Amino acid sequence: MKKKFKTDKHILIPKHQKLSDAQKQKLLEKYNVSVKELPRILKTDAAISSLGAKPGDVIKIARASETAGEAIFYRVVVDV
């Protein structure tokens, strides 16, 4: 059987994670922002296809960073 390719398991794709509602609230509070001020990610983005994220959810992305080793980013899921 042909092995199915999973994008989110690929080594070059940084780890994507869905935030719980409580975590989301905490994040928004920490930066004193609304969801509108967060960077965005498309709902159809391949990296989050397996997370089942809905518009309005916040995705936490842990990227390898040249300066910081690991950098945490947050993106809000949007429709189109």
Partner 1 sequence: MAKEKIVEKEAKAEKKEEEGIAEAAEKPSEEAELLAEGLAEQTPEEALESAAAEASPIAPKKEEIEPQESHISKQVKSISFSILSPKLIKDMASAKIVTPELYDKEGYPVDGGLMDIRLGVIDPGLRCKTCGSKLKECIGHFGYIELARPIIHIKFVNIIMTLLKATCRDCGRILIPKNKLSRYKEILDEVEKERGIEARRDKIKDVITNLKTINKCPNCKARQKKITLEKPTTFIEEEKRISPIEIRTRLEKIPDEDTLLFGLHAPHVRPEWMVLTLLPIPPVTMRPSITLESGERSEDDLTHKLGDIVRINQRLFENINAGAPEIIVEDLWDLLQYHVTTYFDNEIAQLPPARHRSGQPLKTLTERIKSKEGRIRHNLAGKRTNFCARTVISPDPMLELNEVGVPNIIAMKLTVPERVTAWNREYLKKFVEMGPKKYPGANYIIRPDGKKKKITDETKEASLEEIQPGYTVERHLMDGDIAVFNRQPSLHRMSMMCHRVKVLPGKTLRLNPAVCHPYNADFDGDEMNLHIPQTEEARAEAEILMEVQTQLISVRYGLSIIGCVQDAISGNYLLTKNMELSKNEAIDLLAAVGIDNFSKLPRKEKVDGKEVFSALIPDDFNFTGKTRENEEVTIKDGKLVEGYMDRANLGEGSGLLLRNMHKRYGKAFTIDLLGKIFRLGIEVLLRNGFSSVISDTDLPENARLKIKETLDNARKEVDHLISEFKDNKLDAFPGKTLQESLELRILEVLNKARNETGKIVEDFADQGSHTMIMAKSGARGNLLNLAQMAACVGQQAMRGKRIEKGFAERTLSSYKRMDLSSEARGFISNGFKTGLTPTEFYFGSMTGRDSLMDTALRTPKSGYLYRRLANAMQDLKVEYDGSVRDSSNRIIQFDYGEDGIDVSKSEKGLINVKRIVKSVG
Q: How many residues bind to partner 1 according to rule CB under 8 A?
A: 17
What is the smallest separation between the CB atom of 47 and partner 1, expressed in angstroms?
Answer: 18
Binding of partner 1 by 62 (CB under 8 A): no
In DSSP terms, 61 is beta-bridged to: 16, 73
What is the smallest separation between the CB atom of 20 and partner 1, expressed in angstroms?
Answer: 18
Binding of partner 1 by 39 (CB under 8 A): yes
Radius of gyration over every alpha carbon of the chain, rounded to an integer in angstroms: 14
Are 23 and 30 within 8 A, CB to CB?
no
Are 63 and 14 within 8 A, CB to CB?
yes
Interacting residues toward partner 1 by CB under 8 A? 30-33, 36-39, 65-69, 71-74
